[in-house]
Structure 1
């Protein structure tokens, strides 16, 4: 049986999702969900550190990586990403999986685990404590912002080289290492107008019109029934201490206290062996 990753296209209500898979007949099955505007290759460094017998599935969310963009006039909403997870499980004939989510992927992992507890065996969150939340009073401004963003043309920016695209990633994500930025750019760009452009749909930069306030998000978290672990980077995203404390306390199935790992927001690319060890402990 080959240890190579095979690329597949799955159907999500007519939208083509790109996934990569290793050892399709093996168990346990582990599904990796990447961060906002990233792609499944952000997990590549982890793979050599995981057991060769595991079935690994790496998804590109809609409008990111090599998955299709939504059509004209359509938008992206948070619940769409949960639909992508469901389409992946259904398309691969998976009854249940272990979820590993980085940043946005961790938020989606929590939401899907709460909504479909019978299909999620464990959740590993990497640099992911949930959405911004906030008070209910923020709903009006959120809607106003979404309507304003809808007027912005979804322009794709051209970069002369992959290296220039990587430099842009470093500007936007200063905790990235140069090697990680270059790797993300190599796998996250394509030829465009004599240079390169990122493959993600620029409409992803528009704000959601609907979102969870803090009370709603904590109610959703309460629906998670499987074991869960939280991996945080010492140089990663900074959270309000009060918010972080309440979010962690709400994770009532947390298998152990949050694990703090040296590195930046993409700590799984910097410290793949340490992150893989944490996955082994939880999944085994």
Structure 2
């Protein structure tokens, strides 16, 4: 398979050396793509390959993921992602209203950002970034205690004996991945750190549960402030219900949350799981371009 060529660039974003991947022609309409948890910007390669139009796609690695520098802290604070995104957009598109896409964690970030900076967004695309089950106040003491306990035993990530073993691990998580796509992702998702050992390019601190409760009311206030048209895409075989309290409760809650968007177009991709940009990149690319060009 022939992949659309990309180039890497490194910027200092809020004190951290950050990696940004580019596809397409400089000067073409910009489309920013933000990846999810334990993923990398290169994850959008298959969608980029399927795009038909003339685009300049810009996909950073979030802090502590991929080739971007780790923060050195024991917990990653969600607002830092918003501040990093703000700095990235100021660098590449100062004063412009931009097209912004995010998957999963990235979808949550871009939706919060679009509410905080509505004037910066031309069109917003959220791929399965529906959020978490809302916390209750009485859960807060236990959450703080769990966080404090976790600091005594910092999390770690397993290592692998080869890129092929990394690819097999990706296919175990997502059986829809072809051998070729799994091998491509393994090259960008991991690196050889010592002889005979490959390590996932993600700071283990990302596995540490943060102390702050998830308040859906705060999130929905941001969603309600979004003025740009929104494309919401979910997968028919999604597993996002696992972090929204189960399918029945999650479906009801997600529909309620999507109702807070002023202008939303909703789609469900068949034969796709949560990594829908890997499972159905051609169908997803068509939806993206139809939405951006409408």
Task: State the TM-score, normalizing by the size of structure 2.
Answer: 0.87
**Matching residue of 2:16:** 15
For the residues of structure 1 that align with 2:178 and 2:209, how far apart are their CA atoms? 28
Q: What secondary structure sits across from 1:235 in the alignment? A: coil
What does the per-residue CA deviation read over 1:218-247, in whole Å, with 9 as the maximum and x for residues that have no partner?
Answer: 222111111101111111123422212212
* Comparing 151-160 and 261-270, the one that deviates more: 151-160
- Equivalent pair of 2:233/2:266 in contact (CA under 8 Å): no
* Comparing 79-88 and 137-146, the one that deviates more: 137-146
Shift of 1:4: 4.0
- Equivalent pair of 2:74/2:208 in contact (CA under 8 Å): no
**Matching residue of 2:276:** 267
1:215 pairs with 2:217: yes
Ranges in structure 1 where 5+ consecutive residues have no aligned partner: none
What does the per-residue CA deviation read over 1:4-58, in whole Å, with 9 as the maximum and x for residues that have no partner?
Answer: 4221111212101100123464242110011100001110001122245212101
For the residues of structure 2 that align with 1:46 and 1:68, how far apart are their CA atoms? 25
**Matching residue of 1:92:** 92
* Comparing 221-230 and 25-34, the one that deviates more: 25-34
Where do 1:32-111 residues align within 5 Å? 32-71=33-72, 73-94=73-94, 95-111=96-112
Shift of 1:263: 1.0
Q: What secondary structure sits across from 2:226 in the alignment? A: coil
With over 3 angstroms needed to count, the CA separation of the structure-2 counterparts of 1:198 and 1:257, relative to structure 1, is: closer
- Equivalent pair of 1:11/1:87 in contact (CA under 8 Å): no
1:200 pairs with 2:202: yes
For the residues of structure 1 that align with 2:101 and 2:32, how far apart are their CA atoms? 6
For the residues of structure 2 that align with 1:139 and 1:181, how far apart are their CA atoms? 39
* Comparing 104-113 and 235-244, the one that deviates more: 235-244
With over 3 angstroms needed to count, the CA separation of the structure-2 counterparts of 1:122 and 1:140, relative to structure 1, is: farther
**Matching residue of 1:257:** 266
Where do 1:141-160 residues align within 5 Å? 141-160=142-161
